[in-house]
Amino acid sequence: MGNHEDKVFLKRFSIIILILVGITFAIIFMATRHGPEVDPADNPSRMALAVERTAPVGAVRTELPEGSDAVAAAPAPVDPASIDGEAVYAQVCGVCHNAGVAGAPIPGSDDWATRVEQGHDTLVDHAINGLNAMPPKGGRPDLSDAEVIAAVEHMLAQ
């Protein structure tokens, strides 16, 4: 008896769904065929509003203004002794290395000691180019290599 009731239900349900789909298509057809045809050019204020809303916000400058030098000044060389490795470590490296996030070795731990054994050059290479979960330069591509080296040396001094 249950199998027959299921067939009856599915048949009625399918018919209802088909009727609803047919009504939907009929409404769409009537709306597209019998709806008002609006030409934006008929209403100048609407046209002006549309132009205003789609106007570019800015423009790309392709020429230098008169009186400016065509060559940008080169950045002044930075004295490596003036770079504060502790500040770089505190702002960038320490975020992960103080807590051991994603396997980052904590300075002074046994895990850090095994990394120190790899040598200064290897540590600097990993810090600049990234390793495993650590992105290059700790995720701060704006840091110079000298700043990263100063941070590594600060970590080695701990």
Q: Which domains does the chain have, with CATH numbers?
A: 84-157 (1.10.760.10)
Residue 22 confidence (pLDDT): 98
DSSP E strand stretches across the chain: none
Q: What is the pTM for the complete model shown? A: 0.45
pLDDT > 90: percent of the chain: 15
pLDDT-derived band at 74, boundaries 50, 70, 90: low
Distance in Å from the first CA to the final CA of the chain: 81
CB atoms within 10 A of CB 47: 13
- Residues 138, 118: Cα–Cα separation, whole Å: 19
pLDDT (tens digit, 9 = 90+) per residue, 105-144? 887 777 777 777 787 788 788 878 887 878 888 777 887 8
Look at residues 105, 91, 111, 76 and name the one whose alpha carbon lies nearest to residue 151. Answer: 91
Residue 59 confidence (pLDDT): 81
Count how many Cα atoms sit within 13 Å of the Cα of residue 4 in the half-sphere of its side chain: 1
- Residues 142, 150: Cα–Cα separation, whole Å: 15
